Amino acid sequence: MPELPEVETVKNEIEPHIIGRTITGVTLLWAGEVRSPSPEEFVKRITGKKIKAINRYGKYLVSTLTGGEFLVIHLKMTGALIIGEGEAPKHTRVILHLDNGKNIYFRDPRKFGVMKLIKDPAEITDKLGPEPLEKDFTVAVFAARLKGRKAPIKAVLLDQKFLAGVGNMYADEALYEARIHPEKIAEKLSQPEVKRLHGAIIHVLRAGLASKGASIVNYMRPDGSSGTAHLFFKVAHAQQKSCGVCGGKVERIVVRGRGTYYCPSCQKK
């Protein structure tokens, strides 16, 4: 699933192509991608609107349109936004046609993605925790939010109300870097562990962003190319590979329903 580095990369790379452009039409190849309003009303209300800005909130992309509405896109598990002309890429579900002759193709093989129009970005932001790459995400803020959390730390990191944008891959990488077992109860992390994990979260997200995201399966950048962050992962999706620190084998367990990769020697329970 695209996480913060992937969605931020999409935002950064699609922005120059869409800001100031007018949406001249919409082709719905699969209307189920549009969640609200109705597909017919969606097409009617978005056609003719200019894109004034695009922002990322957690894993959401929110475009500011003229007329006071906002276009929300969530790539979910297999979504990608591709900029191009001509024939749509395979698995394209929605095409937004722009006034410069280019198109935004919403490619989504498994049809989990979401497009909708909203009146206020607070409908999204009010449901999200702090942005981990913002300056106000301090060790103190992180420690305070961990208090009273009785779930495994891996599950807590995946809770978007706790922290915005962190998903399965980068949670595994951060816990490995901090040498914390993914099943350790969140509120029981020691002060040194909290500090290490805080720094590790920021580090792995920045590294992922610098590598333009991780193309494990379906994620691609707006030009159709792949990110390279996955080439540098230490444990994520690395079952039975050797740990670069101890030489032991990376193992996979399930934590609250999510596949989790870790090194049993470096991340002792």
Sign of the torsion formed by the C-alpha atoms of 174, 180, 184 and 190: negative
Angstrom distance (rounded) from CA 183 to CA 153:
6
Q: Is the pLDDT of residue 1 over 80?
A: no
Using the 8-state DSSP alphabet, how is residue 50 labeled? Answer: B
Supply the pTM of this predicted model: 0.96
Angstrom distance (rounded) from CA 92 to CA 113:
11
Question: At 209, is the pLDDT very low, low, confident or very high (cuts 50, 70, 90)?
Answer: very high
| Beta bridge partners of residue 72, listed in sequence order | 62, 116
The residues carrying an active-site annotation are 2-3, 59, 258
First to last CA, the chain: 27
What mean pLDDT is predicted for residues 161-172? 98
Q: Average per-residue pLDDT in the chain?
A: 97
**For a pLDDT cut of 90, what percent of the chain falls above it?**
97
Q: Would you state the structure tokens that stand for residue 126, as one six-digit string?
A: 């009010």
Angstrom distance (rounded) from CA 139 to CA 231:
29
| Beta bridge partners of residue 252, listed in sequence order | 261
Convert the pLDDT of each residue in 16-64 to its tens digit.
999 999 999 999 999 999 999 999 999 999 999 999 999 999 999 999 9
- What 3-state DSSP class applies to 148? coil
What mean pLDDT is predicted for residues 74-88? 96
Cβ 121 vs Cβ 100: under 8 Å: no
Confidence at residue 28, expressed as pLDDT on a 0 to 100 scale: 98
| Beta bridge partners of residue 25, listed in sequence order | 97
Confidence at residue 240, expressed as pLDDT on a 0 to 100 scale: 86
Confidence at residue 157, expressed as pLDDT on a 0 to 100 scale: 98
Confidence at residue 73, expressed as pLDDT on a 0 to 100 scale: 98
Q: Is the pLDDT of residue 158 over 80?
A: yes
Number of H helices, E strands in the chain: 7, 11
| Beta bridge partners of residue 267, listed in sequence order | none
Question: At 217, is the pLDDT very low, low, confident or very high (cuts 50, 70, 90)?
Answer: confident
Q: Which of 162, 159, 148 is nearest to 258 (CA)?
A: 159
Residue with tokens 């009146």: 119
The phi and psi torsions of 255 (rounded to 5 degrees) equal -115, 115
Q: How many CA atoms lie within 13 A of 215 on its CB side?
A: 13
Domains of the chain from N-terminus onward: 4-125 (3.20.190.10), 139-262 (1.10.8.50)
Cβ 139 vs Cβ 194: under 8 Å: yes
